[in-house]
Structure 1
Amino acid sequence: MQQPPYRPKSNTGMIVTITLVSVLVVVGGLIGVLAAVDGGKRKPSSVADSGYDYPTATSSTYSATSTPTSSARPTSSTSATRSTPTQTRTTTSTPSGPKPVLRTKDNPLFAGDHGTNTVTCNLPKWQSTPAAAQAFFTAAMPCFEAAWAPVMQRANLPYVRPKVAFPSGKRWESGCGVADSTKEDVAAFYCSPDVTLYMPFEGLQTNVNGNKIGAYLALFAHEYGHHIQAMSGSLKAAHQESYELGPDSAAGLEIQRRKELQAQCFGGMWFAAAWNGKGSITDAVVRDMIADGYTRGDDNNPGAPRDHGKRQNYGNWQKHGYEKNRTYQCNTYLAPANSVS
């Protein structure tokens, strides 16, 4: 059988092939998880991906750079919060189960040898209409959950299924504010306050991508990567670090790039799981995903904040996640500065 052009490398160990038997259920602790993810002092909490704004049809890659690498796997621990009775006999309690850990480089997500579980995704045929796109991404959601929920369980981190919204029109509201496409390009984004992936049809670039489902799934996988960051606590930690450094400062923007490029890497990890399960994720779909990554990046928008990374690194990290399929390999917070520029 023909081997894929970008198959997972054997030198990082076999990709996890355990059949998903059960998905971690933490619905009872949802309120506590969301409070931990988005509580405290108010800071920007949406992830509006300018890397997925409209690239030019003639976008090309930079010259090759070194493959992104990550350092040794750190370890960390979490502490439990106990319920405390009040003098009025009512009690306040913290939901049991895993909690997000507000750390970036030493988050438990990057400790251990965690790869996405193999999943088989049989998706409907792509059609470039709002209704068909909604059906396509809705069908893909269980495949993402089956690949990622066990990773969070093994890392002792919380997991809840995100919602997916398909807004239409020029102006609409999200948990992170108002989106107005008459004033700026509105691409897909993840909003942590309402735990929702927003997938407006107008931001899918169907005029560029045609029927290449690898490009559409790469977008969805990137946003789902932000959800994994949110569940782990690293997304909020990155927001805090950038806020404290100054969001528009060089150091603050670098933190934002590390966060975005990590979402790219996580996106690649999902494709590794789905390619191994075959189904709709063929060699051609993977090739389209890899190629799409190298068309995205800050250098498509001269003068815009450098908060996502240039095209070469945007593509490199997505490809890296696909080839390695390990969360510690996606620890961009330990990566050299030139791989997150």
Structure 2
Amino acid sequence: MGLHFSHDTLPQRVHFGTGRAAEYLADEIARFGASRVMVIAGRRDADTAADLSAQLPVALHYSDIVQHVPAESAERARAAARENAVDLLVCLGGGSAVGLAKAIALDTALPIIAIPTTYAGSEATNVWGLTENGRKSTGVDAVVLPATVIYDAELSRNLPVGLSVASGLNAMAHCIDSLWGPRADPINGALAAEGIRALATGLPAIVEEPAGLEGREQALYGAYLSAVAFASAGSGMHHKICHVLGGTWNLPHAQTHATVLPYVLAFNAPQAPVAEARIASALGTDTAIGGLNALRKRLDAPRALKDYGFTTQDIPEAVSLILPAIPTNNPREVTAANLTELLTAAHEGSTPGP
């Protein structure tokens, strides 16, 4: 009877303010006393990274970023950091940029300042991932947790609407998985519910007014909450599926998560009534899957895995790789048969329901 749980809160400084990223970044670099900074940013964010760091002690600008962080890509980046005697990492962009910084930190223990321009949420977790020989490995290590995160909605204006939607639904997947993850607890649940509410508010605003800042602020806020909840609760069924699909078939990260999410929710929700009610309440609807389906329709969200190169011939191998990774506390028993059914529906893009 009563509440009984254990909860870890990760140590991290968060700065949140539209138009203030340059100020925050300079202050943080000074706080660390860094003199040889490695700035990691992809092509879309290269100009922004250059502007933010123009007056800072940058030893190296690095742009060789590959999604799912292949091991060879990580080793090239680590070598570059060592060759340039880097003493601080600054990553600007989405999950791939943050993931590469984490891969460097895992080997060097260098501190990270993360400046997200998407809603991936990796910046607020101590989870790393590397892909090698078609398999994605993940782990947890305090050394990869960014010491500082800087959120500035102004910097996300370059993120196209379609990718904003996919990335935001990836963040919502963090929230929903947190409600039945291996270490789910009431604190994670509260953070996740507020994250769902913020994302359900922010994403439609982005679609309706792509240049507006209010929707992007809400989405960044929701993404942070989702990641904090996820870091504590751990990977649930949804993320185990998507890690296999992304690492083995190199499917696009955000779109894969956005596509798979409603199928996992429809699968688990009937056996998780407390979580289902919390999700529905956060979405402002009678049922969780009804609310998510309505939101996805409004956002014109990604619908089918077949659109990203996943085939029906791939499903048996996916099932064999995913099944052993499903957490034992998943609300519903997962079998080869029902997992095959779930992946088949996600492949085709049929509308999931209870």
Instruction: Give the structure-1-normalised TM-score.
Output: 0.29
Whose helix proportion is higher, 1 or 2?
A: 2
The structure whose RCO (Cα within 8 Å, separation 6+) is larger is 1
Instruction: Give the structure-2-normalised TM-score.
Output: 0.28
